[in-house]
Amino acid sequence: MPRDTTQRAIHRVRILKGLIEKLETGIQEKNYCVDLLNQSLAIQRALKSLDAHLLDQHLNSCVKSHMTKGKASEHLRDELLSIYQLARKNS
């Protein structure tokens, strides 16, 4: 993964850590349930954003490289299909 892409992914993970810590604190402090749910939903949106970033990077690097080198294999097809199926299951 290129350095700038790695840094963006790490930045998103750190944001997620902060959101999760805030949610944990809110639960411990018995904050209002709707506020906790909103925090949880924000975490889920941030995870989806990270997933999209990682998938975009994978498609633009690994998959693109294999396609241009004529190495598109059954393994690559199965990998992409698996990711697609997981994404559909989690949406």
Q: Sorting pLDDT into bands at 50, 70 and 90, what band is 78?
A: confident
Parent domain of 17: 3-89
Determine the pLDDT at residue 86: 83
Does residue 91 register a pLDDT over 70? no
- String of b and e for 3-21 (b: at least 16 CB within 10 Å)? eeeeeeeeebeeebeebee
CATH number of the domain bearing residue 23: 1.20.58.1000
Count up the domains in the chain and report the number.
1
Q: pTM for the complete prediction?
A: 0.77
Q: Sorting pLDDT into bands at 50, 70 and 90, what band is 66?
A: confident
